[in-house]
């Protein structure tokens, strides 16, 4: 079995258009959630979200590219560009033939669906742009990264709702660890902040109208975000041989299915995934210093997640920190685990634990150290990232300082 390390990271999300901007915002506990701005927003009852603001796609892409790139693909390419530049790696010959891309997204080109349905249903048009299908397909972003960087090995998209990115990164990890691929570009992206995207979520009645307050008494639901997070996962010796700056090690991964309910989370399913990641990475309970929680801000998730952590860690649950950065960047659905992995890397490299902002009052059902409102300095050597999706699909990654 090979060791797997991260040698590049990139992002764009409501907190910033790069990793340094995003980490600075997380350190400051800044909130990227605000009033949504798009067509027909006045017909929604949910009008807040973690939107990427001040983003001009034309500054990044030409006209021909824009006819093929949905917003989720645009975000992916921007994040991938930052990650691959940081890794300082070029893909050619044998390396290109064996390296690939695995990315997560739940909805793919949601605004492309939305715009074109509007055009044919509302505006009564009978003709759509020829590239609607290649623009909206869930694997569009993955394929464009593959084309842009000459990645010719195993390449596909994973779609497991809110766990998509963690499942994708787990796949990339397993592929590098097994020796199948020397390098994998991985992470995820989402852009559902358009009228149809938010309207669909509104129906479920789990969205907050004012703020995402994970673990806080009186929390009233989730808030959506958008953006992408992309990483370069690389075989350790390969990274060392070329003198790459190693951000951290990917130490373990586990996934589980609740096999119970299509929306309600299960403590047992979450606990099995958390415990599984520890076993996989041969990590002892007391090594874990920080968990980046799924922490959606719904009543059901947060109490179930805390109960699962308490079950797995026993007495050590009271000594570790657990925070939800969704309070700042919103829930990026299929891209969320990727952006949240940045908080994990910051904890390991910079010794800064991102806070759970918007925290008002302790909830006895979430009685863990949730790092309320203010970032904290701490020396941690192993961290976890939780993702628990609708459909009962759970994926947990473990990272280790190197």
Partner 1 sequence: MNTRSKVIAIIAEQAILEPKDVTDDSTLESLGIDSLGLVESIFAIEEAFDISIPFNANDPTGGDFDISCVASIIAGIETLLSKQS
Q: List active site positions.
A: 162, 294, 331
The binding track of 229-268 with respect to partner 1, each residue x by CB under 8 A or -, is ---------------------------------xxx----
Q: Which is nearer to partner 1, 112 or 298 (CB)?
A: 298
The structure tokens 């096999």 sit at 259
CA 340 – CA 17 distance, rounded (Å): 15
d(CA 5, CA 2): 10
The correct pick among 29, 153, 221, 289 for binding partner 1 (CB under 8 A) is 221
Q: Is 223 left (phi over 0), alpha (psi -120 to 50) or beta?
A: beta
| DSSP assignments along 124-147, one per residue | ------TTHHHHHSTTHHHHHHHH
Tell whether residue 356 is a contact of partner 1 (CB under 8 A).
Answer: no
- Tell me the site size for partner 1, rule CB under 8 A: 15
Nearer to partner 1, 218 or 314 (CB): 218
Contact status: 120 vs partner 1 (CB under 8 A)? no
- Regarding 205 and contact with partner 1 (CB under 8 A), the answer is yes
Helix, coil or strand: residue 218:
coil
Query: Measured from the CB of residue 368, what is the shortest distance to partner 1 in angstroms?
Result: 19
Residues ≥6 apart with Cβ < 8 Å to 341: 9, 165, 169, 187, 229, 231, 292, 385, 397, 399
Instruction: Check residue 364 for interaction with partner 1 (CB under 8 A).
Output: no
- String of contacts with partner 1 for each residue 28-57, x by CB under 8 A: -----------------x------------
SS3 133: helix
For residue 159, give the nearest of 197, 185, 189, 199 by alpha carbon. 189
For partner 1, the closer of residues 32 and 297 by Cβ is 297
| β partners of residue 291 | 322, 384
**What character string, x for contact with partner 1 (CB under 8 A) and - otherwise, covers 261-290?**
-xxx--------------------------
Is residue 203 involved in binding partner 1 (CB under 8 A)? yes
- The contact set with partner 1 (CB under 8 A) reads 45, 203-206, 208, 219-221, 262-264, 298-300
């Amino acid at each position: 079995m090979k060791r797997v390390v991260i040698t590049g990271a990139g992002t764009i999300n409501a907190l910033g258009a790069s990793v340094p901007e995003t980490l600075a915002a997380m350190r400051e506990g800044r909130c990227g959630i605000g009033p949504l701005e798009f067509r027909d927003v006045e017909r929604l009852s949910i009008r807040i979200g973690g939107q990427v603001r001040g983003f001009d796609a034309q500054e990044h892409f030409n006209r021909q590219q824009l006819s093929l790139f949905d917003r989720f693909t645009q975000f992916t390419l921007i994040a991938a560009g930052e990650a691959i530049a940081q890794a300082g790696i070029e893909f050619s010959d044998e390396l290109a033939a064996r390296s690939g891309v695995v990315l997560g997204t739940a909805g793919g080109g949601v605004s492309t669906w939305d715009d074109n349905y509007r055009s044919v249903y509302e505006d009564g048009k009978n003709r759509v742009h020829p590239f609607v299908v290649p623009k909206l397909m869930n694997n569009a972003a993955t394929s464009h990264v593959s084309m842009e960087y000459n990645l010719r090995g195993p390449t596909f998209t994973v779609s497991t709702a809110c766990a998509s990115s963690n499942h994708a990164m787990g796949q990339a990890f397993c592929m590098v660890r097994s020796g199948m691929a020397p390098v994998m570009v991985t992470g995820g992206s989402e852009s559902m902040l358009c009228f149809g995207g938010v309207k669909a979520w509104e129906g479920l009645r789990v969205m907050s109208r004012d703020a995402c307050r994970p673990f806080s008494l009186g929390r009233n639901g989730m808030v959506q975000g958008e953006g992408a997070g992309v990483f370069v996962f690389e075989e350790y010796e390969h990274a060392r041989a070329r003198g790459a700056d190693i951000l951290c090690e990917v130490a373990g991964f586990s996934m589980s299915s609740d096999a119970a309910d299509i929306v309600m989370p299960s403590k047992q399913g979450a606990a099995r995934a958390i415990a599984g990641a520890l076993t996989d990475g041969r990590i002892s309970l007391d090594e874990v210093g920080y968990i980046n929680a799924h922490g959606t801000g719904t009543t059901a998730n947060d109490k179930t997640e805390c109960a699962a952590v308490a079950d797995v860690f026993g007495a050590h649950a009271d000594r570790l920190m657990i925070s939800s950065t969704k309070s700042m960047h919103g829930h990026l659905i299929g891209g969320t685990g990727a952006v949240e992995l940045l908080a994990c890397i910051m904890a390991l490299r910079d010794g800064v634990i991102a806070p759970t902002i918007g925290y008002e009052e302790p909830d006895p059902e979430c009685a863990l150290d949730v790092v309320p409102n203010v970032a904290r300095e701490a020396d941690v050597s192993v961290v976890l990232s939780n993702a628990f999706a609708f459909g009962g699909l759970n994926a947990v990654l473990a990272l280790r300082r190197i």
